[in-house]
Chain A
Amino acid sequence: MSLLIPEEVVSKKDISFKVVDDKPADRIHRILTPEGEVIGTLPKLSPAQLVGFYRWMILGRFFSDQMIALQRQGRMGTFAPLQGQEATAVGLAAPLKPEDWLVASYRENISHLIKGVPLLALMKQWGGHFADNYPPELNAPPFQIVLGTQTLHAVGIAQAIKYNNQSHVVVTTIGDGATSEGDFNEALNFAGVFKAPVIFVVSNNGWAISTPRRKQTAAEYIADRGAGFGMPGCVVDGNDVLAVYQVVSEAIDRARAGDGPTLIEAITYRMGAHTTADDPTKYRPQTDLEEWTKCGPITRFRKYLINHDMLTEAKDKTLHEEVEAEILSAVKEYEAISPPAPYQQFNQVYAETPSQLQRQQTDLIQDLNLEAVSRNGSYA
């Protein structure tokens, strides 16, 4: 338990304040250029897996667009689109094993789907129902609304995994905005101290509602935060699904080997609004969007697949039709379910409903003339 006595760093030099002024371009890991050309080492993935990534991305895009449409028609609650962030969402979830955990915020819907969470579960949560369709065996809690809090939960889960001598890992996602929250920094610190098997993926999409990244923190890269908590920080092109897949895989291997946490910053762009309640034209220039559309994750990956004979125009069309059908079918399923029954409000507060709450339940049912409510949840 000896205290660090840094004799080895005692210096006779005059004091100098070191500021990061080297921004090596090669710090941002990238495998595919925006034009889909290969410039890095390809991860070992089969064509089927690669096409599978593509399918997830277009499914996610279509899902996001559909949800916006539904919200505009009053058929869905407030929704946070992920347009532009598909590569990050796919790349961070694809390497996970079933026994690994995903603890994500509201933006990475595709990640949940890859983990096995049914579309219905996501739609229910967005739709304002109880988020009670997340099967526990999927190891993916309902997506988080309160920013940054999930990163602490993720660390706790990782500590529990370690405690049980298991070799699972936890991947948690967070936006650039939420990295300013105290909780996120406390989470990094705990993860570092306890060498928890957790991977922090910061989905840096450039905007926290109307706050641009530069006003969120003066750090050059959010990944630089890692050094201050004793873990490696890695920056990746978030619009390159293969690069994201690769760095997350490597981080997972590290964690599984007992080498502790990693902080990954995926640089991407929020092409849509913060949520359906937001109007980004108020605060950001159209030119930005145009620039980023050229670097879009789906276009570049499609080019890569087509150039390497893994996808044809025809197959692409078919895939699009498939995902469309899948989403529309899920919408039908969602709209066919009954709304939750009022009594459910009282039943999920405690394991056993205390008497005051039971009384309140009775009073309310009387007040609302709900004697006819059946315990199965349907009501007149």
Chain B
Amino acid sequence: MPNWTMVQAINSALSQEMEQDQRVLIFGQDVGHNGGVFRVTDGLQERFGEKRVFDTPLAESGIIGTSLGMAMYGLRPVVEIQFAGFTFLAFNQIASQVSRVRYRSGGVFTAPLVIRAPFGGGVRTPEMHSDSVESYYMHMQGIKVVIPSNPYDAKGLLHAAIEDPDPVMFLEHMKLYRSFRQEVPEERYTIPLGQAAVVKEGNDVTVFAYGAMVKVALDAAKQIEEATGATVEVVDLRTIAPMDEETIANSVNKTGRAVVVHEAARAGGVGAEVIAVINEHCLYSLLKPVERVTIPDAPFPVPKLEDFFIPTPDRVAKAIHRTLEP
């Protein structure tokens, strides 16, 4: 089994989907000849030709709007928006059109398309390139939001996303693109959307994370376990919408304590939704209030400051500590 980075895993998924379904096509800015600014679509235009992998003019709303037309027609576009923060230029098309076409046409027209976009901090990007946008799309109805934390999941989730009859926002944390390798099956496999993963079992507290924060959570868990006798369960949400409420409830009903960590800002973030879910299903199991570790409610920090704000294992460990205090 090959050892792949997340970029390679995603590239593999895209390639296989293109191979097995002529209706799949890939477009966006600089994804063709250039292979994408992160080289995620590298080699695909060479392999499948310009008709199926092509560059568009510089217009996010144009990219999303035309992809919807194609999907209505029966194709299955997988588009790339160069950075997640630029999906805002297409927000109208996503919010009022892509996510609603099934509803408004009674199912006659649907949007089986995937929007891929990189996001995430810790890589010193210029402004708007690192913003986390998952909350905006979590609140949108009719669109699914997926954030993989490792190469294996990325490939499986992307296969599932492309196969999915509904539109999927597939957000890729830039820092994870090449930061580590993992064994990934070469053949096609899917990981179901809407399913979280218990990546580490424990009994005393649950830490919920996704994307690049999963590793942060695992590091914090290790710290806590070495320092105390407590055992920490770490849950990788994987699909932000629709969220896997069952796994969330099962875990917190078992442990009675929880911490949510995400790189997005606090107010109305995924953490808020997780805590609402915990409130609905686990209130009487809770031994302490749920902690959130997020960036503050300010714009994503300038590169010079981001190290202070992106959640670190230390900060998460401190939060875990607070839940463990009697």
Contacts and interface: CB of A to CB of B under 8 A. Distances in A.
B86 interface: yes
A41 interface: no
Interface residues of B, number: 39
B29 A211 contact: yes
A282 B45 CA distance: 13
Given A349-B298, A361-B296, A367-B318, A182 B89 contact: yes
Contact of B297 (A210, A283, A356): A356
A181 B302 contact: no
B276 interface: no
A356 B89 CA distance: 29
Given A146-B86, A181-B58, A360-B296, A340 B302 contact: yes
Contact of A356 (B30, B37, B267): B267
B227 to A, nearest CB: 17
B304 interface: yes
B281 interface: no
27 contacts: A78-B125, A78-B126, A127-B304, A128-B124, A145-B129, A147-B58, A148-B58, A181-B89, A182-B62, A182-B89, A183-B89, A209-B29, A210-B55, A211-B57, A211-B58, A217-B57, A282-B33, A283-B33, A340-B302, A340-B305, A342-B305, A345-B301, A345-B309, A357-B298, A360-B296, A364-B296, A364-B308
A180 B308 contact: no
A210 B303 contact: no
A51 B302 CA distance: 38
B59 interface: yes
B75 interface: no
A127 B124 CA distance: 9
A311 interface: no
Nearest to B299: A349
A177 B55 CA distance: 12
- 7 tightest A-B contacts by CB? A128-B303, A210-B34, A180-B57, A360-B296, A177-B58, A342-B308, A180-B58
Contacts of A360: 266, 296-297
B3 interface: no
A345 B318 CA distance: 22
Nearest to A130: B302
A372 interface: no
Interface in B77-118: 85-86, 89
Interface in B272-326: 296-299, 301-305, 308-309, 314-315, 318
B62 A180 contact: yes
A106 B126 CA distance: 11
A5 interface: no
Contacts of A346: 296, 298
B30 A78 contact: no
A364 B34 contact: no
Interface in A316-374: 339-340, 342, 344-346, 348-349, 356-357, 360-361, 364, 367-368
Contacts of A342: 305, 308-309
B124 A78 contact: yes
A215 B301 CA distance: 35
A216 B37 CA distance: 17
B128 interface: yes
Contacts of B34: 209-210, 282-283
A367 B309 contact: no
Interface in A156-191: 177-183
A177 B57 CA distance: 7
By DSSP majority rule, is chain A's interface helix, strand, loop, or mixed? loop
B61 interface: yes
B127 interface: yes
Contacts of A148: 58
Contacts of A78: 124-126
Contacts of A349: 297-299
Interface string B14-44: 0000000000000001101111010000000
Interface size class of A (residues with CB under 8 A): 35 or more
Nearest to B309: A345
Contacts of B89: 181-183
A180 B59 contact: yes
Nearest to A350: B298
Between B29, B34, B125, the greatest number of chain A beta carbons within 10 A of the residue's beta carbon is seen for B34
B266 A345 contact: no
Contacts of B58: 147-148, 177-181, 208, 211, 216
A310 to B, nearest CB: 39
A183 B85 CA distance: 16
Interface in A211-226: 211, 215-217
Given A209-B37, A360-B297, A181 B124 contact: no
B298 to A, nearest CB: 4
A129 interface: yes
A179 to B, nearest CB: 8
B279 to A, nearest CB: 19
A146 B304 CA distance: 19
A250 interface: no
A208 B301 CA distance: 27
Interface string A266-288: 00000000000110001100000
Contacts of A340: 302, 304-305
Contact of B124 (A77, A145, A209, A216): A77
Contacts of B127: 145-146
A130 B299 CA distance: 12
B303 A278 contact: no
A258 B298 CA distance: 41
A137 B110 CA distance: 52
Contact of A146 (B62, B128, B299): B128
Contacts of A278: 37
Contact of A368 (B32, B33, B303, B308): B308
